[in-house]
A and B are shown apart, each in its own frame.
Chain A
Amino acid sequence: MSNQNISFTATQASVLSTSKVLKNTYALLSMTLLFSAVMAGVSVAMNPPQFTGIVTSLIAMALLWFVLPKTANSSKGLYVVFAVTGLLGFGLGPILNAYLHTGNGGQIIMTALGGTGIIFLALSAYALTTRRDFSFMGGMLMVGMIVILIAALANIFLEMPALSLTISAVVILLMSGFILYDTSRIIHGGETNYIMATVSLYLSIYNIFVSLLQILGIFGNDD
Chain B
Amino acid sequence: MELWMKIGSALLLGTMLVFLLPRAKHMLQNSPKAGEGDWKAVLIPLALLVLFILFLITMIQS
Which of B41, B45, B56 meets A176, CB within 8 Å?
B45
B57 to chain A, nearest CB (A): 5
Q: Is A137 close to B, CB under 8 A? A: yes
CB <8 Å contact, B34 and A136? yes
CB <8 Å contact, B52 and A118? yes
CB <8 Å contact, A220 and B15? no
CB <8 Å contact, A219 and B60? yes
CB <8 Å contact, A180 and B42? yes
Q: Is A177 close to B, CB under 8 A? A: yes
What chain A residues lie within 8 Å of B30 (beta carbons)? 138-139
Give B contacts to A, CB under 8 Å: 1, 5-6, 8-17, 19-21, 23-24, 27-35, 38, 41-42, 45-46, 48-50, 52-53, 56-57, 59-61
Give A contacts to B, CB under 8 Å: 50-51, 54-55, 57-58, 61, 65, 104, 107-108, 111, 115, 118-119, 122-123, 126, 130, 132-143, 145-146, 149-150, 152-153, 156-157, 159, 169, 172-173, 176-177, 180, 212, 215-216, 219-220
The 6 A-B residue pairs with the shortest CB-CB distance in the complex, in nearest-first order? A220-B60, A142-B24, A139-B28, A139-B31, A136-B34, A138-B31
28 example contacts (A-B, Cβ-Cβ < 8 A) are as follows: A51-B8, A55-B8, A58-B15, A115-B56, A118-B52, A133-B32, A135-B32, A137-B34, A137-B42, A139-B24, A139-B27, A139-B29, A139-B31, A142-B20, A142-B23, A142-B24, A142-B28, A146-B21, A150-B17, A153-B17, A156-B10, A157-B10, A176-B45, A176-B49, A180-B42, A180-B45, A215-B53, A216-B60
